[in-house]
Amino acid sequence: MRRSVLVVALLLIVLPLRAATDWTLVHNRTMEAIDLMYNLDFGAAEKKCNEVIGLAPGDPRGHFFKSMTYYYRMSFKGGSKNDTAFWAFIYHADKVTKVCEQLLDQNENDTKAMFYMGGTIGFKGLAYVNRGETLKAIWDGKKGYNLLEEAVEKDPSNMDAKMGLGMFQYMISQAPSEFQSAIKLAGLTGDRWGGLRMLEEAASKGVYAKQEARRWLYGFYLAEDLPKRSIVHIRWLKDSFPRNWYFLQQYADISLYQIRDATSAEPAYKTLSMMPINNGDVSYVRWLANFRLGYISMAKERYSETITYYMAAYNVATTDERRHESAASIGIAYDFLGDREQAISWYRKAGTHSVAQRNLKTMRTPKELLIEKVSWAHSVGLYHRVISLVDSVVGAKAISDNETLAQVLYQQGVACYETGNFGRADKCFTAVLGMQGADAWIHPYSHYRLGMTLVKQDKTATAKQHFARVLEYEDYPSEDVLRKRVAREMNALERNGK
C-alpha cells in the first residue's frame, strides 16, 4: 500500500497534470505574429507562431500563420522554381491541412477548421499559379472553395471565412479566358461584386483575416479602376504596419499616379527614403523614393531641389537602367534651369535612354519647355497651375500643331473639371473634339470627360450621348479602362433615374 502511494506521488511529480489551454494567450500571440508578419519581420513572426503551436498544437492558427510567413518570404524572393521558401511553405501548409482534418474528423461542422484548411488550399493555389501551374491550382482549389463556401453557409458570422471565399469568387470571375473552360469543368463559379462585398465585410469585421482582406482589396480596386476605394485600404495597411516599406510605397504610388495627390505622396516618399528596410532591395527602395521625389519637385518647378533628389537616386542606383533614367532626368532639370552645358553632360551619361538622346540632339525652345511644364503639373494634380500654364501657352502662341494643342487643352479641361469650373471645362473638351490630327485616345477620352462635365451641370441627356460616342472608338491606349468608366457612369445615371 505504501509502495503504491509512493508510485503515485512520483508520477505526479514527473508527469504533472496538463494545464488547460489559455485561449486568450493563444489569440494574443497569434495577433502578435500577424503584426510581425505584416511588418515584414518574418523571422520574429515565425518564432511567435512557434509559441502559439507550443500553447495549442492541435489548433490550426499557429501552423497556418507559420506557413504564411514562408508564403510572404516566397513572394518577396520572386518565387523561383527552386525557391526553398516555396517548399517550406508547402511543408507547413500540409501541417495545417493535417490539423484541420483531425478537427473535422472530430466535428464535421467545425467552420474554423474549414476556414483554415480552405484558406491554405487557396494560398497553395496562388503559389502554384505564380510558378506557372495554373491548371493544378484550379483543380486543387475546388476543395478549398467548397470548404470556405460551407463554412460561410454554416456560420455567416465567420468573417475570416468570408475573406477566403470572397477572394476566390473575385479571382475566379476575373480569370483569363483561356482558363475559363477548366474553371467551369471544375465546378467553380465566380462573383465579381459579391466577392468584393465579402472582402469588405472581412476587412471591417474579420478577426485574423482583416489585414489580408485589405491587402487584396486595394489591388482589386486598382484593377477595377477605382483608386479612391483602393487608397482607403492601402492607407489603413501602411498606418497599421509602419515598418512595412512595401505598403508605404504602394500608398505613395497610388496617391501620386492614380489619385494625383502629390501632397500626400511627397512625405510618404521622404519616409521611404530613410526608413529601415526589412526583406527588400534597399538600393531599389532608396532609388525609387528619391526618383519619385525628384519627379514631384520637377512638377512643382523646384528644379534645384529636383537635381538634388535625382542625384541621390543616381548615386544609389545599382543597375544601368536606373542610372540612365536618373541621368536623363537630371539633364531635363538642367534644361529647365537654362543650363544647357550641364544638361548635355547628363544626357551623355544617360547612355541610350530615348528621352536623353532626343534632348541631346535638339535644344528645346522656351515655348516648348513651357508646354512640357503643363504635362508635368497635370501629372501630379497641380490643377490651378495647369490652367494658368495653358493660358500662357495659348497666349504666347507657342503651339503650331493640333496634336499638341489638343493635348494641352484636354489637360486644361481636366484641371477645370477637378477645380469645379465646369463651364470652362465644357469649352475645353468641345474645342478638342473639333480638332483633327489629335492622338487616338484624345477624342474618346474627351467625349467621356465632356459627359462627366455635363452631368455636373444636370445636362444628363446630352451627357449620355457623349458616353455613347465613346463606345464607337476602338484600338486606342487604355481603351478597356475608359469603357469601364463609361459603363460605371451610365449605370449610376440609370440607378438615379436620369
Q: Which domains does the chain have, with CATH numbers?
A: 22-108 (no CATH), 400-498 (1.25.40.10)
Judged by DSSP in three states, 310 sits in helix
Whole-number Å distance between alpha carbons of 354 and 329: 12
pLDDT score recorded for residue 439:
92
pLDDT score recorded for residue 83:
79
DSSP character at residue 244 = -
pLDDT score recorded for residue 186:
80
Q: Which residues contact 423 (CB under 8 A, 6 or more apart)?
A: 457
The pLDDT confidence band at residue 193, using thresholds 50, 70 and 90, is very high
Is the confidence at residue 11, as pLDDT, over 50?
Answer: no
CB 199 within 8 Å of CB 247: no
Is the confidence at residue 2, as pLDDT, over 80?
Answer: no
Instruction: Specify the range with the lowest mean pLDDT, choosing from 78-92, 192-206, 274-288.
Output: 78-92
Whole-number Å distance between alpha carbons of 190 and 184: 10
CB 235 within 8 Å of CB 251: yes
Between these two residues, 324 and 5, which has the higher pLDDT value? Answer: 324
Is the confidence at residue 17, as pLDDT, over 70?
Answer: no
Is the confidence at residue 72, as pLDDT, over 50?
Answer: yes
- In 70-136, DSSP assigns E strands to none
CB 88 within 8 Å of CB 77: no
The pLDDT confidence band at residue 307, using thresholds 50, 70 and 90, is very high
The pLDDT confidence band at residue 133, using thresholds 50, 70 and 90, is confident
Judged by DSSP in three states, 413 sits in helix
Whole-number Å distance between alpha carbons of 393 and 400: 11
Cα-based distances in Å from 495 to 67, 137, 254, 454, 492: 45, 38, 29, 17, 5
Instruction: Specify the range with the lowest mean pLDDT, choosing from 6-20, 200-214, 248-262.
Output: 6-20
pLDDT score recorded for residue 135:
83
Whole-number Å distance between alpha carbons of 422 and 410: 13
In tens, the pLDDT along 223-273 reads 999 999 999 999 999 999 999 999 999 999 999 999 999 999 999 999 999
pLDDT-above-90 percentage for the chain: 82
Residue 12 CA to chain centroid, in angstroms? 57
What rounded mean pLDDT belongs to the chain? 92
Cα-based distances in Å from 435 to 50, 235, 378, 423, 465: 67, 41, 21, 19, 19
Alpha-carbon radius of gyration of the chain: 28
Nearest Cα residue to 367 out of 390, 333, 397, 398: 398
Is the confidence at residue 415, as pLDDT, over 60?
Answer: yes
Which conformational region is residue 473 in: left (phi greater than 0), alpha (psi within -120 to 50 degrees), or beta?
Answer: beta
Which amino acid would we find at residue 110?
Answer: D
Q: Which residues contact 3 (CB under 8 A, 6 or more apart)?
A: none
Whole-number Å distance between alpha carbons of 253 and 45: 27
Is the confidence at residue 281, as pLDDT, over 50?
Answer: yes
Cα-based distances in Å from 313 to 229, 307, 346: 31, 10, 14
Whole-number Å distance between alpha carbons of 122 and 167: 9
